[in-house]
Amino acid sequence: MGTAIQVKEATICPNYVNGQWVQSRSGRKLVRLNPANHDDVLGFAPLSTRDEIREAVDAARQAFPAWRDTPAPVRGKIVMQAARLMAEEKESLARLLTREEGKTVSESLGEILRTVNILEYTAGEARRLAGETLPSELPKNFIYTIRQPLGVVGLITPWNFPVAVPVWKIAPALVCGNTLVWKPSELTPFTSRAIVDLFARAGLPGGVFNMVNGAGEEAGDELVEHPAVRAISFTGSCEVGSLIYAKAARQMKKVQCEMGGKNPVVVLADADLELAADCTIMGAFGSTGQRCTATSRVIVEESIADKFVQMLVDRARKLKVGNGAEPGTNVGPSVDEAQFNKVQEYLALGKREGKLVCGGERLRGEAYDRGWFTPPTIFDRVAPDARLAQEEIFGPVLSVIRVKDFDEAAAVASGIRYGLAASIFSTNANAVFEFAERVECGIVHLNSPTVGGEAHVPFGGIKATGIGERETGSIAIEFYSELKIVYVDYTGRKRETNIY
């Protein structure tokens, strides 16, 4: 059992294998700085080797039979205890998350509370791992189904929701009776360590839950390639997801990939514009735009576009950018230099592809020079097929696309390779429901922002955003279990008729 962990200066984050905290032997590491203040060094993420992943897979493999045979409600109790611990420790976990990833403390708390809900819900699923009983075509026969674990599963996760996304994989994997190896993002090792520590203290037996830090191309790739890993659940970019999908398919592994988004908000002329503007700003600039469900395109009817753009600009200018740990901050920094540089490249592109109406330059000055800060930025008059309107930026950048009517708006909303979330603002019920039916995405919000989701509800996208079963809610169980069908014949005689 672990104890609550304090992050000390310049520590190297350990891995967790077979119930033990162990230092990586690789000797290679990545420094982790607070993205709002580079003078604040959290420590180092080790770049673990393929051998270290193999050791973790071995530990998970050995722990599997006993965990599989542990009654599901008992497994659920441990997940429930992790929920209790996370709820008790939410404040310190939120501060750590903000320090490591950069989102504001209230956003961190929101992520943690959602995660507690997910843990509670999934713990309850342990008592509902039901199959079904079916009648047979034959007399004195029946059929039943059971759900069984897969074995060792591999989880690969991103940095932007480093608590919620891993836990919405870990909890159903455990409840279903799998053992697991988790490769978190190398950008959020300390938050990952805190999560493992919670589960260890909740009472998980050694080897059931293993965590190995490392680079995707090495540690992540080994997890995907390892023949004993039966399934991969991945969340991250489309580029990496499509690689993983192809590699895992060669070994006939089960794969689930939740990937990028370029989520539209449609604003029709009859909308409540105050509501639409508030929700668009929240969706675009909350979490610094670093959400898969962030609003990055606003598709607005030409007749109200001038007015609506001005409303967006007025609101965006009032947002306070800064260190997410400081009260009153609305928008934190980019997570690291690479992400920040990517955003700056899109700012330059946006000036060629659209009309800059707000933001557009990195922030300078004492409060900003030691962090990766970009102000909320809006480009108007962006063409639907411009790169700015087609590519995921993952920063506080919003493109306005003007259209003539509903039909054009609906076509532009779906005219993209991604398909995660979409919103529409209108007081016309026919238009709203027509949009919900037509738009090509996994989640639609009517008169509310593109962001957010509830713990007991499925989450995920279509097209280039998602492949495999949805996550969260009861459907999450499907990915982490196999269905076995059992035919029962209690006649005690040789069958006279064949069934096909």
Least distance from ligand NAP to the Cβ atom of residue 188, Å: 9
Helix 90-101 to helix 72-88 angle (10° resolution) is: 80
Q: 486: closest CA among 172, 128, 148, 70?
A: 148
**Would residue 258 show up in a list of annotated catalytic residues for this protein?**
yes
C-beta separation of 125 from 204 below 8 A: no
Q: How far is residue 407's CA from residue 410's CA, in Å, rounded to a whole number? A: 5
Tell which one of 58, 120, 125, 186 touches ligand NAP (CB under 6 A).
Answer: 186
Least distance from ligand NAP to the Cβ atom of residue 158, Å: 3
Tell which one of 43, 166, 260, 264 touches ligand NAP (CB under 6 A).
Answer: 260
Tell which one of 126, 211, 244, 413 touches ligand NAP (CB under 6 A).
Answer: 244
Place of tokens 């039943």: 144
58 lies in the binding site for ligand NAP (CB under 6 A): no
CB nearer to ligand NAP: pick between 161 and 435:
161
216 lies in the binding site for ligand NAP (CB under 6 A): yes
Amino acid, res. 182? W
240 lies in the binding site for ligand NAP (CB under 6 A): yes
Contacts of 84 (CB under 8 A, 6+ apart): none
Least distance from ligand NAP to the Cβ atom of residue 164, Å: 9
How far, in Å, are 147, 171, 227, 276 from residue 135 at the CA level?
19, 33, 38, 52
C-beta separation of 375 from 363 below 8 A: yes
Q: How far is residue 452's CA from residue 264's CA, in Å, rounded to a whole number? A: 14
Residue nearest to ligand NAP (CB): 216
Place of tokens 């674990």: 149
Specify the stretch interacting with ligand NAP by CB under 6 A; choose among 93-101, 211-219, 348-356, 401-409.
211-219
CB nearer to ligand NAP: pick between 28 and 147:
28
Place of tokens 């080994």: 222
180 lies in the binding site for ligand NAP (CB under 6 A): no
Tell which one of 108, 178, 185, 399 touches ligand NAP (CB under 6 A).
Answer: 185
CB nearer to ligand NAP: pick between 354 and 468:
468
CB nearer to ligand NAP: pick between 34 and 235:
235
For 272-311, give the secondary structure using H, E and C.
Answer: CHHHHHHHHHHHHHHHHHCCCCCEEEEEEEHHHHHHHHHH
Catalytic residue among 120, 258, 301, 392: 258
Catalytic residue among 257, 279, 292, 441: 292
CB nearer to ligand NAP: pick between 186 and 380:
186
Q: How far is residue 403's CA from residue 308's CA, in Å, rounded to a whole number? A: 13
Phi, psi of 227 (to 5 degrees): -65, -20
- Stretch 448-467 residues interacting with ligand NAP (CB under 6 A): 461, 465
165 lies in the binding site for ligand NAP (CB under 6 A): yes
CB nearer to ligand NAP: pick between 55 and 258:
258
Structure tokens at 345: 């490249």
Chain-centre distance of CA 413, in angstroms?
22
List residues near ligand NAP by CB under 6 A: 156-161, 165, 183, 185-186, 215-217, 220-221, 224, 235-237, 240, 243-244, 258-261, 292, 392, 394, 420, 461, 465
Active site residues per annotation: 258, 292
